[in-house]
Amino acid sequence: MSVALGMTRPPLVRTIPVHDPEDLVARLPQAPPYAWIHQGDGLVAWGEAARATVPPGAGRFDWARRWLARVFAGTRVEDDVLVPGSGPVAFGSFTFDPASAGSVLVVPRIVLGRRDGRAWLTTVGDPPIDLMAPPESPGGVLYADGSRTAPEWEHAVARAVGEIRSGRLEKVVLARDLVATTERDIDVRLLLDRLARAYPECYTFSCDGLVGATPELLVRHTGQAIESLVLAGTTARGATPAEDKERGQALFDSPKNRHEHVCAVASVRDALAPLCAELTVPDEPELLTLPNVQHLASRVHGRLSDGASVLDVVAAMHPTAAVGGTPTAVALDVIRRLEGMDRGRYAGPVGWIDARGDGEWGIALRSAEITGPTARLFAGCGIMRDSDPAAELAEAQAKFRVMRQALEG
């Protein structure tokens, strides 16, 4: 980090307690933001003390862990708070496909944290004074097809169903993209505010232009304890409470969705078992109800056996069956052949890690890549042998609604 900052001695990273900011997003200046917010708690950050573009390849998580170890070791730390997320912190997002370029790690200059009634501020070196100004609306929004039109994507789904029925694989997740263009540049702070307010039970995130509100917690690492929220199996919300309840029950009773969920839970269990001294996996899923959709959800808890960091756990888990498929290698081959696009960081791990190895990482779902006045939106669906292309397209449209509402207000 001292090289990145141009300093001759290790920079001072100082964390102090502060008064409760209440609204984390409202404290962000105009600088490009980093964020991880859940039910009002979390971290927001800005500025860059150190940055790395992670080389693609199978060893990218190991590379990232080694880079972070060097960066964190090259600091002087004064931490008066000593909680997960205090002291030096890095935000990161990784591409879905290990062969794709674009994974990034950033150690921000300023981090504001809030959790369980406590708040803190971390600074690296002498932070700059940043301009505070309210975010401006991006204006009107125009949408256009991304890599595939809707009929083309339905055809890809039909081909995937054919490959599943042939016995090559059990499940594959196919994604599609949508391109939005606004009248003015998009202020990410406005998206974060709208997402955090509309989806407080999701994890609202921002990292280097990737913004979203994911319902899926890949892993939370606190000391030796880890937690993962597995989602697979989806239905739209009903128009009335009675229809909503009926849809939820139909989802819970659906053999197709239950089997999809079993595949996702099994992939998480198999990834975590070698790392854990204890692992608890529920026998039955619960129903997670969000403003736009309902999911089958399973909360997995464990205790690590060897002191692995959160990035070690992320490396073991990604890609889960919830975003790739089963078996993984075959599903990745099908995705590369049928999707017709590079997902970039969509459906890849996104989150933060501190110098103790604690952190929270989600799967970058319900998200968009923001560049000036352009947003590239993503949505994906789990394809099984009984999947109907039209129904899968409707599910993808429901998932697009999250970012469309954030853009449109």
Name 90's Cβ contacts closer than 8 Å, sequence gap at least 6: 50, 68, 71, 105, 106, 107, 352, 353, 354
Between CA 135 and CA 351 the distance in angstroms is: 24
Phi, psi (rounded to 5 degrees) for 49: -90, -35
pLDDT band at 293 (very low <50, low <70, confident <90, very high): confident
pLDDT band at 5 (very low <50, low <70, confident <90, very high): very low
348-365: string of b/e by CB count within 10 Å (b at 16+)?
bbbbbbbbbbbbbbbbbb
Q: In the structure, how many helices (H) and strands (E) does the chain have?
A: 9, 23
Query: Is the pLDDT at 406 greater than 90, yes or no?
Result: yes
| Contact (CB, 8 A) for 398 and 247 | no
Give residue 401's domain range.
Answer: 2-408
Name 377's Cβ contacts closer than 8 Å, sequence gap at least 6: 146, 177, 178, 179, 180, 367, 368, 400, 403, 404
- Give the pLDDT score at 7: 46
Q: Identify whether 216 is a catalytic site residue.
A: yes
Give 402 or 133, the one with higher predicted confidence: 402
Phi, psi (rounded to 5 degrees) for 152: -65, -40
Name the domain count of the chain: 1
- Give the pLDDT score at 8: 53
Share of the chain above pLDDT 70, in %: 97
DSSP helix/strand/coil, 120? strand
Our CA angle for 134, 139, 145, nearest 5°, is: 130
- Give the pLDDT score at 3: 40
| Contact (CB, 8 A) for 338 and 312 | no
**Torsion 225-285-231-187 (CA) sign:** negative
pLDDT band at 322 (very low <50, low <70, confident <90, very high): confident
How far is the first Cα of the chain from the last one, in angstroms, to the nearest whole number? 39
pLDDT 10s digits, 329-374:
999 999 999 999 999 999 999 999 999 999 999 999 999 999 999 9
**E strand or H helix at 71, and its extent?**
helix 60-73
**Annotated active-site residue in 163, 170, 171, 392:** 171
- Give the pLDDT score at 337: 96
**E strand or H helix at 314, and its extent?**
helix 310-317
- Give the pLDDT score at 6: 44
- Give the pLDDT score at 178: 98
Would you state the structure tokens that stand for residue 380, as one six-digit string?
Answer: 């994906």
- Give the pLDDT score at 189: 97
Average pLDDT of every residue of the chain: 94
Alpha helices per DSSP H over 84-146: none
Between CA 34 and CA 208 the distance in angstroms is: 7
Which of 59, 63, 55, 31 lies closest to 45, judged by CA? 31
- Give the pLDDT score at 134: 87
- Give the pLDDT score at 205: 98
Between CA 63 and CA 9 the distance in angstroms is: 24
Query: Is the pLDDT at 157 greater than 90, yes or no?
Result: yes
**Annotated active-site residue in 163, 216, 260, 392:** 216
Name 36's Cβ contacts closer than 8 Å, sequence gap at least 6: 42, 43, 91, 203, 204, 205, 351, 352, 360
Give the CATH number for residue 134. Answer: 3.60.120.10
**E strand or H helix at 270, and its extent?**
helix 255-272
Query: Is the pLDDT at 80 greater than 70, yes or no?
Result: yes
User: Running DSSP on this structure, what letter comes out for residue 40?
Assistant: T
- Give the pLDDT score at 10: 85
Query: Is the pLDDT at 102 greater than 70, yes or no?
Result: yes
Long-range contacts, 17-23 (Cβ 8 Å, 24+): 17/80, 17/81, 17/118, 17/119, 17/120, 18/112, 18/119, 18/120, 18/121, 19/119, 20/114, 20/117, 20/119, 21/112, 21/114, 21/119
Other beta carbons within 10 angstroms of residue 74's beta carbon come to: 18
- Give the pLDDT score at 2: 38
Query: Is the pLDDT at 1 greater than 50, yes or no?
Result: no
Q: Which residue type occupies 135? A: P
Q: Identify whether 243 is a catalytic site residue.
A: no
pLDDT 10s digits, 178-217:
999 999 999 999 999 999 999 999 999 999 999 999 999 9
Question: HSE on the CB side for 335, CA within 13 Å?
Answer: 28
